[in-house]
Amino acid sequence: MVSSSHEAMHRIFQKDPTLLTRALQRVLHVPFPEPLEIAALNVDLTEVEPVERRVDTLLRAETDEGTYLFVIESQKKVDERKRGSWPYYLSYLYEKFRCEPILIVTTQSSTTARWAARPIRLGFRDWHSLTVRPLVLGPDNVPVITDERTAVQDVPLAVLSAMTHGRGPEAPAILESTAAALRTIDPDSAAVLVQFVDSCLADAQAKQMWRDLMTAIQYFWRHPLAEQVREEGREEGREEGRVEGREEGRLQARREMVLRMLEWQAVPVSDAVRERVNACTDLDRLGVWAQRALHAKDAADLFREE
């Protein structure tokens, strides 16, 4: 299971290496040639000396114009030590593989993105012996994808959008379009991408909305992330010591999810609707209402087909 946003922000390119070339061409506007093949390489750059150096993700791309190495670094904050390690990575990889290395930095922070994009110049003022110019994927250039049809056209890019922008007023539309797009790909791949998004959502409300969405489309409970939540629920149940308490907890969580969905859609909720939802004791029916709430224009839309 992905344990942090740092891992997710570079491992998404291991999951779908072709996303990287699309990001280069469409987001960074770098005319990189279309790869014939992309392969993951060993990320360990440790030398014989006891100094351990590892890149986050390392991919090799074969193109008609030659072979390139993508060095992908996930960066959460400014770290001036990278001014030494990034040039080292590139020179070491060039010496080892004798092909051109390209440094890509991914981040969820605009401040970090601006810092990472600054050229690293080694030498003196009027003569730079080495210049490193990182390419950066961050909040200022990764597209904000809020349209379901756009998300379906490129699901990994939609996931990267959710990982990068999953906070603020546009979060509901971004997460909803991504959730819908994930339903169009195979479940195993979707399970990994769902975890990537979950691990990158630092905002508690956005994370809860994402999990609600996964539950509402009856997908969340089939992937590994659900086991973590189920274990949390089991632990709470053990503390309660009563099966009835666990069942009521699931019902209450589902009721709250239905009402939250309506609130996120800016749909007014009357006292009568709130009472009807809170009175429901059928988990399956609450799941159906949650699905309807995703596209409801009026709270009464929950019950019309009944």
Lookup result for tokens 């891992």: 7
The model's pLDDT over 184-237, given as tens digits with 9 standing for 90+, comes to 998 888 888 888 998 899 888 888 888 888 876 655 444 455 555 545 555 555
36-41, Cβ contacts within 8 angstroms, sequence gap of 24 or more: 36/62, 36/63, 36/64, 37/61, 37/62, 38/62, 38/70, 40/14, 41/69
Sequence-distant (6+) residues with CB within 8 A of 52 are 44, 46
pLDDT for res 3: 56
Q: What are phi and psi of 269, to 5 degrees?
A: -120, 115
Per residue in 109-130, pLDDT (tens digit) is: 999 999 999 999 998 777 888 9
Global pTM value:
0.69
290-to-88, 177, 182, 197, 230 alpha-carbon distances in Å: 52, 16, 18, 21, 19
Residue 105, helix vs strand vs coil: strand
What number of CA atoms fall less than 13 Å from residue 242's CA on the CB side? Answer: 6
Which residue matches tokens 């970090």?
Answer: 112
Distance of CA 148 to the CA centre of its chain: 16
For residues 112 and 75, is the Cβ–Cβ distance under 8 A? yes
Q: How confident is the model at residue 152 (pLDDT cuts 50, 70, 90)?
A: very high
Element (H, E) at 35: strand 35-40
Q: What is the pLDDT of residue 305?
A: 67
Average pLDDT, the chain: 83
Query: How is 147-160 classified by DSSP, letter by letter?
Result: -HHHHHHTHHHHHH
The Cα 1–Cα 224 span in angstroms is 7
What type of residue sits at position 166?
G
- Which distant-in-sequence residues (6+ apart) come within 8 Å of 271 by Cβ? none
**Residue 168 in tokens:** 């603020």
One-character DSSP codes across 196-227? HHHHH--SHHHHHHHHHHHHHTT-GGGSHHHH
| Rg, Å, the chain Cα set | 23
Name every residue whose Cβ is closer than 8 Å to that of residue 121 and which is 6 or more positions away in sequence.
128, 130, 131, 132
Cβ contacts of residue 222 below 8 Å, gap of 6+?
187, 191
Q: How many CB atoms lie within 10 A of CB 128?
A: 13
Dig out the tokens for 1 from the structure: 């299971």
Residue 5's pLDDT is 85
Q: How far apart are CA 146 and CA 261, in angstroms?
A: 17
Tokens, residue 181: 């797009």
Between 76 and 188, name the one with better pLDDT. 76
pLDDT of residue 233: 52
pLDDT digits 0-9 by tens, 3-51: 588 888 888 888 888 898 898 888 989 888 888 888 888 887 665 554 4
132, β-bridge pairs = 120
CA distance 140 to 269: 36
Share of the chain above pLDDT 90, in %: 36
- pLDDT, residue 238, reads 52
pLDDT of residue 204: 84
